[in-house]
Amino acid sequence: MSGASVTLTDVRYSVAESGFAFDVALQPGETVAVMGPSGAGKSTLLNLIAGFEFPASGRILIDGTDMTTMAPGARPVTMVFQENNLFAHLNVAANIGLGRSPSLHLSTDDRQKIQYALEKTGLSGKQDRLPSELSGGERQRVALARALVRDRPVLLLDEPFASLGPALRLEMLELVRLLHETSGMTVLMASHHPGDAMAFAQRLLFIEEGRILADGATGDLLGGEQPLEIANYLGNRAPE
């Protein structure tokens, strides 16, 4: 398994008063952080790629195939949300298993994959727990395990660790990095924290008012030569 390229060509979308316009190309296997103020369009970008929103115009290509009008389930994409990723009445194994079969008809092979994902995400021995018996971090681990067994070349993370504490968040970022290493997926993560981007993303997209304002290597954009908007967003004094 390896990642897939994601290309948005002149994609336009509007909701209520706000308009969005995205034009970007991601390489297969790239790790990309999406930053920007609330309401700037981070989630919208992810939703467009996942198929939860459809553009008014423009094209969305994944792995070279036009996905613009495809239903979410038909796209080679997995998305992890900030919360509510799990069904409260299903145990950990079943919640992961849904990634193999949406009707939970699991083959021996599927079960092995689930077992492997449990180990990879540090959930061994917890397969029979219910989501209510897990911590917030563990719940997100289950969501990542599901993404792993789904085996889709693009992984979208929509502020997945926003409700976790700093130490836990570092742990989870490490896990995402590990998953990226084993699967080679193209990973796109929306986040508010420069730390998240620094920890795992090669590339950074900075979004403001529905547009990609800056696009470059994470180290460059967050390092010395940061553009004014990013400096303002981060609360750094603008470089004189």
Comparison of 130 and 213: residue with beta carbon closer to other proteins: 130
Cα–Cα dist 8/181, whole Å:
25
Q: How far is the CB of 150 from other proteins (least distance, A)?
A: 8
What is the rounded (10 degree) CA torsion for 50, 55, 61, 66?
Answer: 100
Comparison of 86 and 214: residue with beta carbon closer to other proteins: 86
Q: How far is the CB of 75 from other proteins (least distance, A)?
A: 8
Instruction: Show the site string, 13-52: x = touches other proteins by CB under 8 A, - = not.
Output: -------------------------------------xxx
Q: At what angle do helices 108-120 and 166-183 cross, to 10 degrees?
A: 140
- Strand pairing partners for 25? 7
- Work out whether strand 211-217 and strand 203-208 pair parallel, antiparallel, or are unpaired: antiparallel
8 Å CB contact between 189 and 34: yes
Instruction: Show the site string, 51-90: x = touches other proteins by CB under 8 A, - = not.
Output: xx------------------xxxx--xxx-x-xxx-xxxx
Q: How far is the CB of 39 from other proteins (least distance, A)?
A: 18
3-class DSSP state of 9: strand
User: Which residues from 121-160 bind other proteins, rule CB under 8 A?
Assistant: 150
Comparison of 104 and 234: residue with beta carbon closer to other proteins: 104
* Residues in Cβ contact with 147 at an 8 Å cutoff, skipping those fewer than 6 apart: 78, 80, 99, 155, 179
Q: How far is the CB of 73 from other proteins (least distance, A)?
A: 3
**Interacting residues toward other proteins by CB under 8 A:** 50-52, 71-74, 77-79, 81, 83-85, 87-90, 98-99, 102-104, 150
